[in-house]
Structure 1
Amino acid sequence: MLVFGDPYETSSGTVLITVTRQGRRGGPGRAVGLYTIDSDGVTWTPAVDGGRIALIGACTGFVAAALATLAVVHRPPWPNLTERAMIALAESPKHRR
């Protein structure tokens, strides 16, 4: 449920009305945005939660790092250095001296 705050008039005649979303079970609400009413008309400015954006970015980075680590552990980017591969490499004409 949206809750509209009391109108606040600035010295220039602009009226500001805050909008919040009511919290669950009477808990604290969360800012949604701000209506600005002036001589040009009404504008809506949404509230931006910088902490939530930073948290999403950090979680995305951690997931990407974990997936990259799993990919390297599963199949490393360096060549396959098994005994059979080393023997074949030593017997190839390109590597004989």
Structure 2
Amino acid sequence: MLVFGEPYETSGGTVLITVTRQGRRGGPGRAVGLYTINADGVTWTPAVDQGRIALIGACTGFVAAAFATLAVVHRPPWPNLTERAMIALADAEVAKAQIGKSRR
């Protein structure tokens, strides 16, 4: 349920009316926005909870970091360096060196 606050008139003739949402079981409400009434007309300015936006961003970052960590632990981005692979690399280096000597 929306609760409209008492109108407040500024020295310039602008009237401000706050709008809150009633809390559960009569608890404290949460700001919803502000009506501004002046000679140009009525404007609505919504209230933005910066703390909630920051919390959502931090939680999203933590979840992304956790998924990235799990992906790297499950299958690292570097190749498997088994004994068989190391022997094949060493044989390739030896063959490359022998080819280089034979071309001279």
TM-score band w.r.t. shorter chain: over 0.9
| Partner of residue 74, structure 2 | 74
* Worse-superposed segment, 74-83 or 7-16: 74-83
Rg (Cα) greater in structure = 2
| Partner of residue 14, structure 1 | 14
- Root-mean-square deviation (CA, aligned residues, Å) is 0.9
Runs of 4+ in structure 1 deviating by more than 4 angstroms, as ranges, are: none
Q: Distance in 2 between matches of 1:84 and 1:63?
A: 37
1:91 Cα deviation after fit: 2.6
| Partner of residue 28, structure 1 | 28
Give the helix-richer structure, 1 or 2: 2
Residue correspondences, number? 95
Specify the code of the residue in structure 2 equivalent to 1:28. P
Q: Distance in 2 between matches of 1:86 and 1:48?
A: 59
Q: TM-score, normalised by structure 2?
A: 0.86
Specify the code of the residue in structure 2 equivalent to 1:27. G
Structure 2: segments with no counterpart, 5+ residues: 98-104
Q: Distance in 2 between matches of 1:61 and 1:8?
A: 41
Alignment of 1:31-42 (within 5 A): 31-42=31-42
Q: TM-score, normalised by structure 1?
A: 0.92
| Partner of residue 53, structure 1 | 53
